[in-house]
Amino acid sequence: MNNGSEAATIAVDSLGCKLNQAEAELLARQLAEAGYRLVSPDDEADIYVLNTCTVTSLADRKCRHRLRLARRHNPNARLVAIGCLAQRAPQELGRIEGVDLVLGNDHKSRLLQSLSKSGCEATPHADRHPTGQTVSVLRTRTFIKVQEGCSSFCSYCIVPVVRGGEKSSPVDHVLAEVRRQVSAGYKEVVLTGTKIGSYSHNGDGLKGLLEHILADTGVARLRLSSLQPQEITPGLIRLWQDDRLCRHFHLALQSGSDGVLARMRRRYSVGEYERSVSLIRAALPEAAITTDVIVGFPGETESEFQQGYDFCRRMDFARIHVFPYSPRQDTEAAGMPGMVADRIKKRRSQKMLALAEVSAQNFRQQFLGKIMPVLWEKQTDGIWSGLTDNYIKVYVKSDQDLRNRLLPVKLGEVRRDGVWGEMIAPAR
Ligand code: SF4
């Protein structure tokens, strides 16, 4: 810890969903405003804060690993765990992992007070970065939380337990936050929440919120983190006539078998999911539709898995995130009969991952030769990378500073996890 004459350095890190990223960004900004000096999670920090995730046992392991790495980086650092794993297993993090301060979702808003009570006070410092710059320690795109919590209780999911019921931010707060981020220089805003399709505030649903943002802010690009298939309506999709809305829809499928979907307590059938995809594609043929799939859910037979696989192949997803089922204590599915053996889950995951790779390549392939605007995010070894609005990662070689600029590029060859592009005009 520093001697009190310099500002304490603090690293804010996050694992899991985009909601966690949004919360980490907000927290970083509040800490900077309170006088802490933000550093990257890869640097040595006096205080290391991790916004944890507990959606799978792999997420738990990653959180513990990240905390141990931070301890190794600076053995004297004060470790702070907040968020979902901190909510579910505070003792484990405190006693076993030696985390100094554990604040679950119920208490994480008290982080600043808790830090100063425990002697980790900020010291005002003259060279404080302006707010917009401090947050860029984390990301180029900015994530804004508009909603939190879920009351759906899908049978496998721990989120309603650790995040609680649904709460939405008032429209005015969201608009003020979007305007603030736009003035700080961000071109892309990603709206996040546990279930943003259930956004509801004073009569405004998600559609109303989007209308307000498009009409009343100068945001250049607006992306939604994820939606449920039953939330796709013709009225909602009509909003995409405004091309500031990114043609990217993350619709979690979880399974392409009606039997499994029913056991998961999802609120749609495979047919309804397909109708939502068709509605999007009829209006926006170049939209990227990405999804999550759980393999090896309790009782999933070989034929149910195969139905799901065939359905995913037919849907031509731009990306498929594959999760082998992992039982979460306090969920209904953890007590279901017919647990699938690990080796079977592994085989099914590999098969689904191979399909995901082919499907992603096929999606990118359609755009070769096209000119599309890309928001450039970062440079590594002279290669810039960024995203199109329909979520294609594009790389170009350039020694110019392209960061946070929205510039057109001609898409060339499919490479690695994206596409190589060629700048069609020199960046000015
Ligand atoms: S909708 Fe289902 S999977 Fe998503 S957070 Fe709610 S309970 Fe979990």
Rounded to the nearest whole angstrom, what is the distance from the C-alpha of residue 194 to the centroid of ligand 1? 8
Q: What percent of the chain has pLDDT over 90?
A: 75
Average pLDDT of 125-137? 37
pLDDT of residue 106: 83
Over 80: is that where the pLDDT of 71 sits? yes
Rounded to the nearest whole angstrom, what is the distance from the C-alpha of residue 153 to the centroid of ligand 1? 6
Rounded to the nearest whole angstrom, what is the distance from the C-alpha of residue 332 to the centroid of ligand 1? 13
Average pLDDT of 410-420? 92
Rounded to the nearest whole angstrom, what is the distance from the C-alpha of residue 344 to the centroid of ligand 1? 25
pLDDT of residue 128: 38
Average pLDDT of 412-417? 89
Find out whether 272 and 229 touch, Cβ atoms under 8 Å: yes
Residue of 154, 167, 323 with the most ligand 1 atoms within 8 Å of its CB, for mutation: 154
Rounded to the nearest whole angstrom, what is the distance from the C-alpha of residue 107 to the centroid of ligand 1? 22
Higher pLDDT, 317 or 119: 317
Average pLDDT of 338-343? 98
Name the average pLDDT for the chain.
Answer: 90
Collect all residues with Cβ–Cβ distance below 8 Å to 382 and sequence separation of at least 6.
Answer: 397, 398, 399
Find out whether 366 and 262 touch, Cβ atoms under 8 Å: no
Ligand 1 neighbours (beta carbon < 6 A)? 150, 152-154, 157, 159-160, 194-195
Average pLDDT of 407-426? 89
Rounded to the nearest whole angstrom, what is the distance from the C-alpha of residue 154 to the centroid of ligand 1? 6
Of 45-54, 136-145, 199-208, which range is least confident?
Answer: 136-145
Ligand 1: nearest atom to the Cα of 254:
3
Over 70: is that where the pLDDT of 391 sits? yes
Ligand 1: nearest atom to the Cα of 151:
6
Q: How far apart are CA 291 and CA 320, in angstroms?
A: 5
Collect all residues with Cβ–Cβ distance below 8 Å to 230 and sequence separation of at least 6.
Answer: 197, 267, 268, 272, 276
Q: Which two tokens stand for residue 312?
A: 């995913």
Rounded to the nearest whole angstrom, what is the distance from the C-alpha of residue 199 to the centroid of ligand 1? 14
**Neighbour-count burial of 6, counting CB atoms closer than 10 A to its CB (0-12 exposed, 13-18 middle, 19+ buried):** exposed
pLDDT per residue as tens digits for the range 140-166: 789 999 999 999 999 999 999 999 999
Average pLDDT of 101-107? 90
Higher pLDDT, 427 or 254: 254
Residue of 55, 152, 199 with the most ligand 1 atoms within 8 Å of its CB, for mutation: 152
Ligand 1: nearest atom to the Cα of 153:
7
Rounded to the nearest whole angstrom, what is the distance from the C-alpha of residue 346 to the centroid of ligand 1? 24
pLDDT per residue as tens digits for the range 308-325: 999 999 999 999 999 999
Ligand 1: nearest atom to the Cα of 150:
6
Residue of 19, 147, 162, 194 with the most ligand 1 atoms within 8 Å of its CB, for mutation: 194
Over 70: is that where the pLDDT of 131 sits? no
Ligand 1: nearest atom to the Cα of 228:
1
pLDDT per residue as tens digits for the range 221-243: 999 999 999 999 999 999 999 99
pTM higher than 0.85 for the full model? yes
Rounded to the nearest whole angstrom, what is the distance from the C-alpha of residue 53 to the centroid of ligand 1? 14
